[in-house]
């Protein structure tokens, strides 16, 4: 079952700024979906449209199987929302605020009290329950926001930049909390521009850039794609000989590398399994007689790879056209299919090959 | 309905905590008590004392506060409204209905709580009581409906503009400039100046055809209020948050 379904969702502000550009998004029930993109990519706008806080300029939004509008309070009752840097009535205490949320949700007072007590304990705010929200830190306010979003035990939980403005320990705490919330058939959508945050909790991921979803699919697939071909080796010995031979690791030289002292970071742009590339690097080490000190595929590479893809998206108009063309192809049919991953474009981009000429035709448009 | 009641309670609580509203009440009550004491000891006509207080203190001060409070109704809390209220199971109509009820209700309540006891005390203690009960009721209703219209105008503007200060300034500018515009439109009797200058006569029941005079002012302000409220609903239901 699809919990979120957008079709050609477009939002243009004041006929000047395109915040969303024919967004085609599908989120299935029970998934933890990470919407990743840089600031201004359209994440918050997407959420506001999903909640009916804004009206689409064009296209449609369906949440929990029904069209969302500003007046669909019944539908919003089934959704929990945490905005970025949430604004709360600051004169209230967490208890007062959660009671207010309970009343807005039409919860019986007794049930609301039981629920808020449990939630304040879950978000570790029991000791601060008597303080006014105006004295809370960003992390504490985020936790209040999460508690408020969970008051109605929602089927869909939307968290907009839940780790924004938090220090590393606060970030870790919130991520751990989200991990605990996930499951029980609840669907969660998290937006962030910090990939590491979603990597730990998400089952599916969408990469949004300039109002378009440029990638969407299972997290495992993205992880595989992102890590594909990036190998870091720390070596000792005849480094010059090793460096000289690095370009020969791929017969089409479709790789890039950088050297930082003894460490070489080699990124293969092809689509072969990572094991093949590791084998080639190890063979080169053997051939050049250097001593291997350390080899890994680097846990941080995924974030770098994502940023790289965003950069590619920004700098290469051709990808934009490919995305547009692919979206045109799938719009209006195969509604239940996952959004396009643009396999061909992705493969060619990773292989540093030009896209087919028909895409160029669209570029002229 | 539950959301509407929750929002109404929340907004009334906010208004009750507002220093501006507290100051408003205090600045109306203190001079009113002073005027009552003076009226009890001087040979002033009750109608003129009542009209002077309303024209010099109650209306200018109330217009200023009502303009600010109503113009801030939606615009001043737009981020809280989006993040904490309208993203929950609340419709736009419930939200704006609660705002209209609380802000218009507050205007009526404060006006009634000050003006009615004040009028009673003036009539009770003045040495020269020249007022008629019907005239006082009509006069107070005219002023009250005028203030309520101002509140409705402020709320309508607060749904339209994101800047509460700008909305308040527009409301005040509209009040100040309305005299000339109404004169131009051939409706000088509707202007605040005309209403206030006729007030002493209305309290005495001296104006020509007093029932018609009061009724048309009250009716027009009531219709304008209804239009302002309708505009608030219309605009806010379509607005992006």
Q: What is the pLDDT of residues A317-343, one digit of tens each?
A: 444 545 555 555 544 434 334 344 444
Q: If DSSP codes are grouped into helix, strand and coil, which group holds residue A340?
A: coil
Residue B179, pLDDT score: 74
Contact B84 A148 (CB under 8 A): yes
Q: Which residue of B has its CA nearest to A82?
A: B83
| Cβ–Cβ under 8 Å, residues A165 and A172 | no
Nearest CA in chain A to B94: A71
Residues of chain A with Cβ-Cβ distance to B9 below 8 Å are: 103
Can you tell me which residue has the tokens 């002033």?
B44
Alpha-carbon distance of A335 to A353, in angstroms, equals 31
CA nearest to A155, candidates A203, A178, A188? A188
Adjacent-strand bridge partners of A217: A205
Does the distance separating the beta carbons of A88 and B89 come in below 8 Å? no
Contact A152 B10 (CB under 8 A): no
Distance, in Å, from the CA atom of A148 to the CA atom of B152, rounded to the nearest integer, reads 32
What pTM did the predictor assign? 0.77
Rg (CA), chain A: 23
Task: Report pLDDT digits (tens) over B50-86.
Answer: 999 999 999 999 999 999 999 998 888 877 777 778 8
pLDDT digits (tens, 9 = 90+) for A107-130: 898 999 999 999 998 888 888 888
CB B154 within 8 A of CB B148: no
For residue A306, pLDDT beyond 80: no
Name the residue among A152, A153, A206, A270 with its Cα closest to residue A32.
A206
Q: Which residues of B touch A101 (CB under 8 A)?
A: 84, 88
Which positions in chain A touch B80 (Cβ < 8 Å)? 87-89
Q: What is the pLDDT of residues B92-112, one digit of tens each?
A: 999 999 999 999 999 999 999
Tokens of B22: 């507290």
Residue of A nearest to B7 (CA): A104
Angstrom CA distances, B142 to A292, B61, B223, stand at 92, 17, 13
Tens digit of each residue's pLDDT (9 = 90 or more) over B151-201: 999 999 999 988 888 989 998 888 888 777 777 777 777 777 888 888 888
Chain A residues inside the 8 Å CB shell of B3: 73, 103-104, 106
Q: Please, what is the average pLDDT of chain A? A: 79
Residue A170 clears pLDDT 60, i.e. is over it: yes
């Amino acid at each position: 079952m699809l919990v979120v379904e957008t079709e050609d969702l477009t939002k243009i502000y004041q006929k000047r700024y395109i915040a969303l550009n024919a967004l085609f998004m599908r989120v299935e029930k029970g998934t933890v979906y990470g919407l990743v993109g840089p600031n201004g990519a359209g994440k918050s706008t997407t959420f506001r449209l999903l909640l009916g806080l804004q009206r689409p300029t064009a296209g449609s939004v369906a949440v929990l199987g029904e069209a969302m509008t500003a007046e669909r309070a019944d539908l919003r009752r089934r959704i929990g929302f945490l905005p970025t840097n949430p604004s709360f009535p600051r004169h209230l205490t967490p208890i007062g605020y959660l009671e207010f949320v309970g009343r807005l949700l039409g919860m019986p007072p007794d049930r609301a009290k039981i629920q808020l007590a449990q939630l304040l304990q879950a978000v570790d705010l029991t000791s601060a329950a008597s303080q006014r929200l105006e004295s809370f830190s960003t992390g504490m306010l985020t936790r209040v926001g999460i508690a408020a979003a969970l008051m109605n035990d929602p089927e869909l939980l939307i968290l907009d930049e839940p780790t924004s403005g938090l220090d590393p320990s606060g970030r870790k705490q919130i991520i751990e909390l989200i991990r605990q919330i996930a499951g029980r058939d609840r669907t969660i959508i998290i937006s962030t521009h910090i990939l590491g945050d979603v990597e730990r909790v998400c089952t599916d991921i969408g990469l949004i850039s300039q109002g378009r979803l440029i990638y969407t699919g299972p997290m495992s697939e993205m992880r595989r794609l992102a890590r594909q071909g990036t190998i870091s080796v720390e070596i000792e010995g005849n480094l010059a000989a090793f460096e000289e031979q690095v370009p020969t690791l791929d017969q089409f030289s479709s790789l890039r590398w950088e050297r930082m002292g003894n460490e070489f970071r080699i990124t293969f742009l092809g689509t072969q399994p990572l094991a093949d590339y590791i084998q080639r690097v190890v063979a080169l080490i053997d051939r050049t007689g250097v001593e291997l000190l350390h080899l890994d595929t680097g846990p941080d590479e995924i974030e770098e790879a994502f940023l790289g893809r965003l950069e590619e998206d920004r700098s290469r108009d051709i990808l934009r056209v490919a995305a547009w063309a692919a979206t045109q192809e799938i719009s209006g049919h195969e509604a239940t299919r996952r959004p396009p991953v643009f396999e061909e474009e992705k493969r060619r981009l990773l292989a540093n090959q030009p896209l087919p000429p028909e895409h160029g035709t669209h570029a002229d448009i | 309905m539950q959301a509407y009641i929750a929002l109404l309670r929340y907004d009334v609580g906010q208004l009750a905590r507002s220093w501006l509203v507290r100051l408003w009440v205090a600045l109306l009550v203190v001079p009113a008590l002073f005027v009552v004491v003076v009226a009890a000891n001087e040979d002033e006509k009750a109608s003129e004392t009542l009209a002077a207080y309303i024209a010099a203190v109650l209306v200018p001060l109330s217009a200023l506060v009502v303009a600010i409070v109503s113009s801030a109704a939606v615009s001043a809390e737009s981020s809280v409204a989006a993040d904490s209220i309208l993203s929950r199971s609340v419709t736009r109509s419930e939200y704006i209905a609660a705002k209209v009820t609380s802000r218009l209700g507050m205007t009526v309540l404060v006006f009634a709580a000050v003006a009615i006891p004040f009028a009673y005390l003036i009539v009770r203690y003045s040495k020269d009581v020249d007022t008629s009960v019907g005239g006082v009721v009509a006069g107070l209703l005219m002023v009250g409906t005028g203030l309520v219209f101002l509140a409705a105008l402020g709320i309508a503007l607060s749904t339209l503009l994101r800047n509460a200060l700008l909305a308040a300034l527009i409301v005040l500018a509209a009040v100040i400039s309305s005299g000339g515009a109404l004169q131009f439109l051939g409706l000088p009797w509707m202007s605040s100046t005309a209403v206030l200058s006729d007030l002493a006569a209305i309290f005495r029941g001296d104006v020509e055809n007093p029932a018609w005079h009061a009724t048309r002012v009250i009716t027009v302000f009531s219709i304008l209020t209804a239009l302002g409220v309708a505009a608030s609903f219309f605009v806010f239901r379509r607005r992006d948050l």
